[in-house]
Amino acid sequence: MKLTIAPRSPKSQKFPLTLDLAGTPADVKVESVMSAIAKRFPQLSPDRQRLTIDKIALETGKSLADYGIKDGDSITFKDLGRQISWRTVFLIEYGGPMLIHPLIFYLPSLFYGQNFEHSWMQTVTYWMVMAHFLKREYETIFVHRFSHGTMPFRNVFKNSAHYHLLSGVNLAYWVYGPWNAAGAALAERSDALVYGCIALFIFAELSNYSTHVTLRNLRPPGTRVRAIPRGYGFNLVSCPNYFFETLAWLAVGVLTQSWAAHLFFVVAVGQMYIWAVKKHKSYRKEFTDYPRGRKAIFPLIA
């Protein structure tokens, strides 16, 4: 069959391009079209291609017939630009706070112009934050299986800013400062509050890890298989991993009583809520037998 690849940009010098593909629309898969384009232009690897018809993105694993594409039809091509693997992106994102927090915590004279003894609250917060991001790095390397292998390289700077600035520089600077040092009134916390926050944090992190393992086991290695997640946490909400992470940062916010921690909490939870609602709607659209009693992120609420 013949298929015309039209450019999204009228300034394109490579397209339109006509491909001769072996088979019928029912036989030809989307990835076969991508491979044919990459064969013609090696710099345009499948990861940086976006193919659409009537503004609907074509998904790998599906045939052209699934989208009603016939012999002689035209689809639109967009170059997504230079790509970077999601695993590398996550390592960069989470690596920022793991470098920033120790620098500010252990070198106070460099950032505050003086040395001082850290309070119990500051020390506990430091290890909670480090444990959180160390866990995230471990999961990135050994647990997560990604449905999309890459993302545009330019997005890594935008994605990293959230972690490097809000949960990195901003959180560390305002929590580890001399105004929260040992003996300072602002740093006084009851034993019950500190141990309560530690207990909530540990519960949330272990629960979050459990949900990530559940999601990992849904997808066989090397595939993009999607299935309905079930089990601990998933019986109540579609994204318990986000709910448990919310609890972890709530523990940090309550412990520090810092505006910087509250700011990161609001921004992070707001973003996770958006992701959860989108994923929840996707589940319900894809699976006709999806449990109707589940909420998106907050049990019994939303």
Residues 239, 275: contact at Cβ < 8 Å? yes
Span 133-188, pLDDT tens digits: 999 999 999 998 876 677 778 788 888 988 999 999 999 999 999 999 999 999 99
Give me the chain's average pLDDT, please: 93
Q: What is the pTM of this model?
A: 0.83
Domains of the chain in start order, with CATH, are 2-81 (3.10.20.90), 84-286 (no CATH)
Helix ranges (H only) for the chain are: 30-40, 86-106, 108-112, 120-142, 155-161, 171-175, 191-218, 240-256, 259-286
3-state DSSP assignment of residue 170 = helix
Dihedral angle computed from the Cα positions of residues 190, 193, 194 and 200, in that order, rounded to the nearest 10 degrees: 170
Higher-confidence residue: 142 or 47?
Answer: 142
Span 72-111, pLDDT tens digits: 999 999 988 888 888 998 999 999 999 999 999 999 999 9
Residues 238, 283: contact at Cβ < 8 Å? yes
Amino acid present at 297:
I
Q: How far is CA 241 from CA 32, 203, 267, in A?
A: 35, 12, 17
